[in-house]
Amino acid sequence: MSELTLTVMRLGFLAVLWLFVIVAVQVIRSDLFGTRVTQRGSARRGAPDRPQQQQRQQQQAAPPQQRQQPSGRGRRGAPTKLVVSEGTLTGTTVALQGQTITLGRAHDSTIVLDDDYASSRHARIYPDRDGQWIVEDLGSTNGTYLERNRLTTPTPVPLGAPIRIGKTVIELRK
């Protein structure tokens, strides 16, 4: 066996061994480099849905999140935040980033309502495939009202329309 072949094989083996190490590190890179923090709001329009890929490691820590809707944000006229305008939580805002927002008295809700007239899992607000935000009543006791109508089916939410849950009113704003 010629010297050259052996050298090539020797270095080739080391390269392959290191390739394995590097691929292994790639598999767990979110552990080592942390998850990518996306800016709140609409600053990162062009950001591809990388975060979704990196959430995998922390699935159990965070509540299960919806699949990102790339077209959901950055659209003209799309709401960027949810504002509580009446009730004990008045003034609370939550940035809309394509994830489902659950409302209710249950402790794992996105917005935990301190409202005797709200059910523990009262309603949820989520973007549909086109990025339109939908509000859906989750079988609550006292119902969810959009403007003045009690919801029976998931309904698109216009910008600024009041959603009433018990004594709490929330709306979507730009």
Partner 1 sequence: MSSSTTNTTTISTAGPPSRRNTELAMLAFAVIIPVFAYANAGLALSDELPSGMLSYGIGLGLLAGVGHLVVRKFAPYADPLLLPIATLLNGLGLVIIWRLDQSRRLAVRAEQIGQTFAPSAPNQLMYSAMGVALFVAVLILLKDHRILQRYTYISMIGALILLILPMFFPARFGARIWITVGSFSIQPGEFAKIIIAVFFSGYLMVKRDALALASRRFMGLYLPRGRDLGPILIVWAMSILILVFETDLGSSLLFFGLFVVMLYVATERTSWIVFGLLMSAVGAVGVASFESHVKVRVMSWLHPFAVYDNPRPSWATTDQIALSLMSFGSGGVSGSGWGQGASDLIGFAANSDFILATVGEELGLAGTMAFLLLYGLIVERGMRTALAARDPFGKLLAVGLSAAFGIQVFVVAGGVMGLIPLTGMTMPFVAYGGSSVLANWALVALLIKISDTARRPAPAPAPSTDAEMTQVVRP
Q: Could you say whether residue 35 binds partner 1 (CB under 8 A)?
A: no
Contact region with partner 1 (CB under 8 A), list: 34-42, 54-62, 76-84, 85-93: 54-62
142 touches partner 1 by CB under 8 A: yes
Helix boundaries (H) for the chain: 3-27, 29-33, 50-54
Report how far residue 80's alpha carbon sits from residue 127's, in angstroms, rounded to the nearest whole number.
12
Q: Is position 34 an interface residue for partner 1 (rule: CB under 8 A)? A: no
What is the smallest separation between the CB atom of 145 and partner 1, expressed in angstroms?
Answer: 11
100 binds partner 1 (CB under 8 A): yes
Nearest distance from C-beta of residue 130 to partner 1, angstroms? 10
Which residues share a beta bridge with 149? 146
Neighbour count for residue 34 (Cβ, 10 Å): 10
3-state SS class at 25 = helix
| Contacts with partner 1, 3-32, as mask; x by CB under 8 A | --xxx-xxxxxx-xxx-xx-xxx-xx--x-
Cβ within 8 Å of residue 44, ≥6 positions away:
38
Cα distances (Å, whole numbers) of residue 82 to 48, 100, 125, 146, 166: 23, 12, 10, 14, 17
Residues that bind partner 1 (CB under 8 A): 1, 5-7, 9-14, 16-18, 20-21, 23-25, 27-28, 31, 56-57, 59-61, 64-67, 100, 105-106, 108, 116-121, 126, 128-129, 134, 136, 138-142, 153-154, 156
